[in-house]
Every structure is written in C-alpha cells, then in structure tokens.
Structure 1
Amino acid sequence: MAAQPAEPELGPATPRQAADPATTASGPAPAAARPAPGPAADEGLARRLKALACTAPLHDLDNRKVNLAGEYGGYAMAEVGLAAIDLVTLHMDFDTGADREIVLGRLLPRVAAQHPARPVAEHQRVARWVLESLINVGSVDRGFRAVYGTFGPDGAYQRRDYDFKLIEEVPGPDGGVYLRTTDEAVNVLVGALDTDVTSAQIAAEVKLEVLIKRGRLADAQLAAEQARYRTVQYAETLRRALEATRRNVRAVDWMQAVPDLIDEALEHIADRYRHENAILTNIRKIRDEAEGADHKRQAAELVDIVKDCIRRHTQLQTRLLEAGPLFRAEQDRQAFAAPAARAGLDLYGQLLAPVLRLPVEQAVRPTDAFFARGAGLRTPTAVRITDLVELLLTPPVEREHLGAELPDPDLVATPDDSRFSEAQLEAALQLLDLPPDAPRRLSGLLAEARRQDPELPYLVALLSVHAASPPVGTAYRQGEQRLLFAVDDGTQLTDPEFGGADLIVGSALLDAAGMAADRQDAQ
C-alpha cells in the first residue's frame, strides 16, 4: 500500500493571503475565481467604508475626552453626540435650522444623568464641547475627511477622499446662525448610507404599521423615529434644490429632474397622509384600550411622533406647491437682470501677452493708453445723450415694502419713588419762608422741623445746602420777587443728625423795577 503524502502544516496566513480569499495554501486560484475588479464589484465595499467613516467622529469623541482638563473619563461622549444629532434633526425646520441654545438646553439633562453629582458648569461644558466637536469648530471648512481605497476600471488600487459633515451652521432668515444636520448625520441615526429616500420612507412606515398591529410598541417607536428622520431628509433634498435655484437657476435641472422630484414627492405625501392617518387611528385605539401604564405611555409617545410626521409632511407639501412659482420668479429675475455695464478685461491674454511680443517702440502706445485709463476714474466733460434719454424714460421703481411696521410702545406710568411727599415739601418751604430782615441759623430750622416731622429736617437741610449757591441770574430772568440764600460764617453746626457749618439762612428781595426795565429793553 503506497504511503499517502503528508498534509502540509498550516501556519499563520500572510497579510496578502488574509486579504485575498482567492489565494489558498496550494497556490493562486485561477483567474476565473477572482472577483472582477472595478467599480461594479467594489461599490459595496466603498459604501461600507463611507458608512464607517461617518461614525468615526462619534468614536473620536471618546478618544479625545482625555485631553480635556478635568475628570471627564466617566462621560459616554458618543452617546451624547448621537443625542445631539437627534435633537438638531428634530428641532430644525424647513426655513430655519435648530437654535443652538435650545439644543444645548435639551442635551443638558442627558449629560447630567451620566454624572448627577458633578456640577452644572461641567455638564454644560461637556454638552457644548460635544456639539462643537460635531460641528468641527477649529477646522478651515468645518468638515471631516476620510480616506478609503477602491479599484479603478483598469484594476489599479486608488485612494479617494471622502469629505462630509455631520452638523453645519447655516444663516437664518432673521440674520441669526442655526444648526442643520446633513444627510450623513441622518444616515448615522438610521444606520444606512445613500439610501433612496422614498423607498426607505415607505419601508419604514409599512414596518411601523405591522409592528403597531402586533402590539410591539417599543419596536414601533424606533421605526416611527426612523420614518421621521427620512421625512426630514426628504425635505432637505427639496430645500437644497430651491437654494441652488435662488443662486443660479441654470444649475438645477428644471426640465426633468426637479419636476419629477416634485411630482413624486406630492404623490408620496398623499400616500403618506392616508398611511399615517390609519396608523394614528390604530395607535389611539391601542392607547385607549391598553391597561398597563408603560403601554399607554409608549402609545402616547407614538401618537406625538406620528403627529409630528404629519406636520412635517404638511410643511413639505406647502413648499412643493411653492416650488413652481419660485422657479418662474427666479427665472424672470435672473434672466432680465441688468447686464454688466462693461465686459471684463483679460490683462494677460489681451494686453500682456501681445505686448511682450512687440518691439519697445510699438508697445509704448497700448501701454500708455491702458495706464492713462486705468489710473483712476475721472468725471466726463459732458453727459451722453443716450444716457440722458434712458434716465428720463425709465419709469420709477414702485416701492412695495416701506419697512417693517413699528410696534406701538407700551407706555407705563413711572412710579412715584420720591422720598418726600407734597405735604412735606410744602411744610419745608413754609418753614424757609423767612422775612428779608430776619435770617435764622440752620440749627434752629432743623430743630423746629424735627418737632413737626422726623423726616422733615432732611428736606430742610437739602434746600438750605442748595441755597448756599443761589441761581440769582435765573431767578432774575424769571421775574421772581424773593430768593432764598445761605451763608457760611464759620460757625460749626451742633445737631444730633447733621454736621458741618451752621449756615445763616435768609431771603433777599430782588429788584422788580430793574427786571421790568430789562424785559422792556429785550423786547
């Protein structure tokens, strides 16, 4: 009996063998067994690499939290990042994005739940750091980049860059800055990449209806949230097309692509209305018939999610109906816009390159003409008749908007916060109404005022101090007959509440005849 050949000893596969399943221990496989290279065979791998790249910033949050100054090791940053993407997606609207402070306020309880004993300032710092990391604050374009490899048509391995963003800052109609999640961020939430929006929406809602009928409300809530994310992504596709139209109507295919998108979207919304209303009826029935508290709560949350889907579909339908008039308005505005007054000059092609080939004596003339006219503007000696006729025949532009209407101010009566009342002022003036030939000391006036009212000496002292520098000219011009004055003769004031000089307070008569003569001279 012939001896059988010994089997070869199996050792660890080399990287080449591990990467190439067509390489076996016995040698290379035939060419027919190898996978066909090229985009068709490598498309699935590229899609999985892109999906993996979209999750890399979330994993990077937990890797970079050690760089924060403090004890942040116990926070699950990837979980907070997914919650931030979720909040921005659900709070952004068609016209405006999500408000940053609202997102941070809603994110704060989730951060605080991970470490309730830590201070609130630390929770706020974690929430803000995660949100800014997803925006990629600090980079030039605030985006992420991943490098992956594919096989080209010739079978050669090529490295490609995949640029994406998760949360981006966009301007709002009121001049503010809002947050919006990108398609890549929504795909991270639902666990897919480059999925057809319409088919994914239909599949999610069919799955939702089946789960509700079977009573699996926990799984139905997850399916409902995924359906809502797809609705947001569908609205984002239309919004980007409308924004591109406002910038340049030629950059968007309004002949076939956008009209087909609008027709399909309107049909899609009509189907979703019927579908979601039926789902809403089933959920309400389950909510009303449920006995357990958890079952009722899950059904109530499902009702809110489906209602939000219906609201978003209503908003999307409104924008779809406005898309056609917006295209026609932008087409008229961009097509009939005033052309540039003068075409641009190609300095290199029209001046520099031809002049360099000319002799010096021939190049002087064009260069002198260019620098004479390019040195600066000068006022023309006379207006052209064509400009004058065009200016006179151009109809005036009608003003449609005269600015925002000014709101009527709410007038609130100023509260009377004065320390002294009218009765106290009258009592103080009566006390200071001294005869011209009988001045008094401030100490005596304060003692008499204290016998009438405990607060009255403060008012008497205030009026007396003001009388130390009496406005003689003002009283003279106003025609007053008497003026209160106070003089310091060096005597020290002896009083239990006040200190300083014991002023001599009196009243002086003004020259009425002189004032009348001055007024007559002025007239």
Structure 2
Amino acid sequence: MNASREPTAVDFSDDGLARRAKALACTAPLQALDENKGSLRWVKADVYQLAEIALHTIDQVTISMDFDSGANQEKVVDQVKRFVALQAPERTTEEHRSVARHVLQRLINVGTVERSFNETIGAVDRSGVYRRFGFQFNLLVERAGRDGKIYLRASDEAINVLVGALDTDVESAQIAAEVKLDSLIKRGRLAEAKLAAEQARYRTVQYGEMLRQLLDATARDIRAVDWEREVPELLAHALAHIEERYDFEHRILSNISAARDKSDEPLHKQRAAELVTIVRDCIRRHMQLQKRLLTARSVFREEQDRQQFAELPLRAVLDLYGQVLNPVLDLSLRDALTVGEGFFSDAVGPEPPAVMDLSSLVTRLLRTAPERERLGEAIPELDLAETTEKPAFTLGDWAATDELLDFCDTPRQLSDLLAEAEHTARSTATLLLHRAFHALDPQVGERIARGDSRVLVGVGTGDRFDVPHFGGDDLLLCSVPITRPPDGTDPDSPLPEDTFE
C-alpha cells in the first residue's frame, strides 16, 4: 500500500525568465510600428516593413556614436531614407524621407513628456508570489555633445535589441563574438563572419557607452560613482580586455587577408573587403576607448578639485512631481490637506505689508483721494471687418451635377458619374458625392410637398470603387418619377403603391 505523498512546492522564480521578458518588452515599440501602420493617414504604409526600418535606424545611430558626440539626426534620416527607398522604389523621395523620420521619432518616442517607453512585465519573487511591475526604457535618446549640439545616442536596451541579447556581460559577449568571427573566417564563411563582426562592433560601442556614462555621472557628482573600488576594477579589466582584443583583431585581419588571397570569386573578395573595414573600425574604437581609460583617473581628480571648492547651492531643487504630487496622491484627504497647506504656505513666501511704519500709515490716511472720472475711461472703438462666408459649392457645381444626374430611364453607377465629374472639377465631384449620399434615404414626402416631379434614389450594389480622390461602396442611382395623389385624398393617409416608380 503506497503512502500518500504531499505535492512538493515548485520554485517558479527565474531570473533568466525575467531577463527574457525585458528583452521581449524592448521589441514591443518595433512591433507596434507595423501593427499601427494602417492608421497612418498621410501615407499608405502597407508596403513598408517599419520594424526592419527601425532596426536599420538603430544600426546607423549605434555606428555613429562616439565619446564626445553621437549621431546627427538629419544624417541618420538621409541614410535610412536609402533603405526605405529599396522597399518601395516607385514611391517619391519625399515619402521615403517622411517614413524614415516617422520611424526615428517613434524610436525617440516624440510626443511624450519623459520620452521613454513603459511596458508591464511580471516575475515570480522568492516567496512564490507573481508580481507585475512597470519596465521603463529608452531606445534612442537625445543628448547634448561637448560642442553644445544635440546628438542621438542608442541606449543599452537598443543595442541589446540590435544584437539579440539583454543583461549579458559585455566583455564575455564580445569575446564570444570575436572567437566566432575568427572561426568563420578560417572556414571561409564570410557572409556569416560579417554578421559576427558587426555584433562585435556593437559590443565595443556598448562597452564605451558604459565608460562614458560613468564619466558623465562623475562630472555631475563624484559621490554618485564608487571611485574607491568599483571604477578602478572596471578600468583595470577594461585595459586588459582592450589589450587582448587588439591582438585578437590583428590576427583576424591576417586571416581575412589570407582568405581574400586564396579566393578567386569576386563576391568573396568583396565580403573580405567589407570585413576589413568593420574590423579596422573596431580597432579604432578600441584605441579611442583605451585613450579614455588612461585619462579617466585624471578626469576624476579634476572633478574632485572642482566640486570640492565649488559653492554649495543655497536651496536644493524640488521635484514637484516625484517628491510632492505622487506621495500626496497616496495619502488620505485629511493628511493631503495638511501637507498641501504647509507646502503652499512655504512655497509662496512671506508677503511684505503695505505699510511698514506708523509715519507711512498716517501719510496714507491723510492723503487726498484722487479725483475720479465721472464717465470712466474711454472705450476704444473696435475695428470690425465684415466677413462674408463663401458657399461650399458654386452655381456652376450645382449646374454640372444637375446635368450629370439628368437621366430618366437608365440607372447609372456612382463610380462612373464620379469619374466624369473629376474631369470638370474636384468640387463638382464632391457635390455629386453629397447628393448621392442623400439619395440613400430620399425624403419622398418632402419632395411631394415641394412639388418635385422626380426623386433621386440610391441603392447599394455591394461592390467597391476606387477613383483617384474618392473610394467606398458603390451605389446604383436612378431618377424615379413621382405620381401625385388624386385631389380629395386625405394627406394623413398612406401613399398609394404607385406614388413613385
């Protein structure tokens, strides 16, 4: 007889799952570009793959990033415009530029206050409770360079989206990418080697971005960065990393040259030349990173001297949204009123009295009252200009539509009539469309009371039409004669069946 066993508790907490959820959240803005492209009214974006354009945009910004500056927005638009033109070569250059700018602005998240994306993800904590929390991130950010100009920079999340990883160690990821690159070159697989070389370059850019952020934080406040243990260890590891990568990349260059010399195919030679350009760019970036690493300690000492002897601010800057509004919204009404009254009384400051001493009070009391005007101040005369509202349609438009709708026995389709009206004027076609719309529900009683002899009736055909400036469901229009009821008929009685044919 088997004894009953209680089910064992399963630990669902997984840091790897949380990292993958963050990686998936970083791709949500790119997926939303294609999901919402049907709502763009200024362009028919069904031929464009906007997510691919976004990846190409992030690629261009990442390659153009440097320590002192980033990517120029107009240059990025010009480069991405060429990629957009490959997807729809029959479209105009202005449309290609507009699509490229639209994708770039969506990656910056223009139109929001903080210009950051917020996605809700979940994770299981150590206690086994599933909790949801907001994940805030950026893809492309606008930062001021040392020359005062505004540049674009790719965030860590954007680079991770580009190379397909998140929360990975920068150095180990680059070592793996370069080992893979060397292996692919030796086996002659230059097409895959180019992709591995580009990933290695992205990791180099990300490594330099980490150092730049540390130096910028040091320039703002040296106490925000641990220069006693964390940063010196990082600098030491980074210098050793650069030395290893420098030797490794020179060996890669020799392997590329050997593969290029052995191959007789022009395509292999072209790919080898592209690899040479990418690897040399990696070497240049490593040399630039090494220069920054060697001068990082001098930057720390200069900032330490500058901030140590700088005057302390008289009053700290208050974050009204984060330090006042958000905490007050979580309080009860009674506690919120107490905090609000105290804040506004301190924020407004003291108001000086109108009378400072007794002599000033006596002087003001004995002062003669000023003589007032009996009729008050003169009222300025307003310069009013007469405006005449122009009619939406001219008499010529009405005459042209009357001529088009002058058919007695043969019904005609709305699409054919609109095509004829387009040759006359755009306003004529618009008026014809309005009159056809009213023909769907003709007011027969009003037409009889008005004395009309015919009424225009429209019936849907189930087909759709698409003319140069109009589109929609097609109608079959027919001019039906009205037969008046005989004299002596009760006006409130139903109309006979042959009132109109």
TM-score of the aligned structures, taking structure 2 as reference length:
0.61
Q: Which amino acid aligns with 1:269?
A: I
Aligned partner of residue 153 in structure 2, secondary structure = strand
Deviation at 1:176, TM superposition (A): 1.4
Deviations 1:405-431 (A, max 9, x none): xxxxxxxxxxxxxxxxxxxxxxxxxxx
1:279-428 alignment runs, 5 A limit:
279-339=252-312
1:154 aligns with 2:124: no
Q: Residues 49 and 31 of structure 1: is their aligned pair in 2 closer, same or farther, counting only changes over 3 Å?
A: farther
Q: Residues 145 and 343 of structure 1: is their aligned pair in 2 closer, same or farther, counting only changes over 3 Å?
A: closer
Deviations 1:19-56 (A, max 9, x none): xxxxxxxxxx966554214xxx3212211111110111
| Partner residue, 1:53 | 25
> For the residues of structure 2 that align with 1:301 and 1:375, how far apart are their CA atoms?
77
Aligned residue pairs, count: 322
The one of 136, 157, 174 equivalent to 1:163 is: 136
Deviation at 1:289, TM superposition (A): 2.5
Q: Residues 276 and 234 of structure 1: is their aligned pair in 2 closer, same or farther, counting only changes over 3 Å?
A: same
Q: Which amino acid aligns with 1:198?
A: E
Deviations 1:475-497 (A, max 9, x none): xxxxxxxxxxxxxxxxxxxxxxx
1:102 aligns with 2:75: yes
Aligned partner of residue 67 in structure 2, secondary structure = coil
> For the residues of structure 1 that align with 2:94 and 2:36, how far apart are their CA atoms?
20
Q: Which amino acid aligns with 2:183?
A: V
1:200 aligns with 2:200: no
Greater Cα shift, 144-153 or 45-54: 144-153
> For the residues of structure 2 that align with 1:340 and 1:194, how far apart are their CA atoms?
38
1:110-259 alignment runs, 5 A limit:
110-259=83-232
Deviation at 1:338, TM superposition (A): 2.9
> For the residues of structure 2 that align with 1:31 and 1:217, how far apart are their CA atoms?
57
> For the residues of structure 2 that align with 1:372 and 1:147, how far apart are their CA atoms?
45
Q: Indicate the percent of aligned positions where both proteins have the same amino acid.
A: 55
Q: Residues 375 and 293 of structure 1: is their aligned pair in 2 closer, same or farther, counting only changes over 3 Å?
A: farther
> For the residues of structure 2 that align with 1:60 and 1:91, how far apart are their CA atoms?
26
> For the residues of structure 1 that align with 2:133 and 2:6, how far apart are their CA atoms?
27
Deviation at 1:156, TM superposition (A): 1.9
Q: Which amino acid aligns with 1:36?
A: D
Deviations 1:168-202 (A, max 9, x none): 11112222111000111111111110100010011
Deviation at 1:71, TM superposition (A): 1.5
Deviations 1:199-245 (A, max 9, x none): 00111111111111111111111110000000000000000000000
1:82 aligns with 2:64: no
> For the residues of structure 1 that align with 2:115 and 2:168, how far apart are their CA atoms?
25
> For the residues of structure 1 that align with 2:156 and 2:352, how far apart are their CA atoms?
49
The one of 238, 247, 270 equivalent to 1:265 is: 238
Q: Which protein is bigger by CA-based radius of gyration?
A: 1
TM-score of the aligned structures, taking structure 1 as reference length:
0.59
Aligned partner of residue 178 in structure 1, secondary structure = strand
Q: Residues 111 and 339 of structure 1: is their aligned pair in 2 closer, same or farther, counting only changes over 3 Å?
A: closer
1:35 aligns with 2:35: no
> For the residues of structure 1 that align with 2:190 and 2:58, how far apart are their CA atoms?
24
Aligned partner of residue 14 in structure 2, secondary structure = helix
> For the residues of structure 1 that align with 2:290 and 2:48, how far apart are their CA atoms?
42
Deviation at 1:158, TM superposition (A): 1.1
Aligned partner of residue 73 in structure 1, secondary structure = helix
RMSD of Structure 2 on Structure 1 (CA) = 2.4
Aligned partner of residue 275 in structure 2, secondary structure = helix
Q: Which amino acid aligns with 1:306?
A: V
Q: Residues 189 and 372 of structure 1: is their aligned pair in 2 closer, same or farther, counting only changes over 3 Å?
A: closer
> For the residues of structure 2 that align with 1:168 and 1:343, how far apart are their CA atoms?
27
Aligned partner of residue 204 in structure 2, secondary structure = helix
Deviation at 1:256, TM superposition (A): 0.6
| Partner residue, 2:35 | 63
Q: Which amino acid aligns with 2:77?
A: L
Aligned partner of residue 105 in structure 1, secondary structure = helix
> For the residues of structure 1 that align with 2:36 and 2:315, how far apart are their CA atoms?
55
Deviations 1:53-111 (A, max 9, x none): 01111110001111111311110101100000000000111110101111111111110
> For the residues of structure 2 that align with 1:181 and 1:343, how far apart are their CA atoms?
31
The one of 7, 16, 35 equivalent to 1:44 is: 16
Q: Residues 245 and 218 of structure 1: is their aligned pair in 2 closer, same or farther, counting only changes over 3 Å?
A: same
> For the residues of structure 2 that align with 1:104 and 1:65, how far apart are their CA atoms?
19
> For the residues of structure 2 that align with 1:340 and 1:234, how far apart are their CA atoms?
34
> For the residues of structure 1 that align with 2:314 and 2:298, how far apart are their CA atoms?
30
Q: Residues 294 and 203 of structure 1: is their aligned pair in 2 closer, same or farther, counting only changes over 3 Å?
A: same
> For the residues of structure 2 that align with 1:215 and 1:300, how far apart are their CA atoms?
14
Consecutive unaligned residues of structure 2, counting only runs of 5 or more, are 318-344, 355-501
> For the residues of structure 2 that align with 1:341 and 1:182, how far apart are their CA atoms?
34
> For the residues of structure 2 that align with 1:83 and 1:30, how far apart are their CA atoms?
56
Deviations 1:383-417 (A, max 9, x none): xxxxxxxxxxxxxxxxxxxxxxxxxxxxxxxxxxx
Q: Residues 323 and 117 of structure 1: is their aligned pair in 2 closer, same or farther, counting only changes over 3 Å?
A: same
Consecutive unaligned residues of structure 1, counting only runs of 5 or more, are 1-28, 345-366, 377-523
Deviation at 1:343, TM superposition (A): 10
> For the residues of structure 1 that align with 2:229 and 2:353, how far apart are their CA atoms?
50
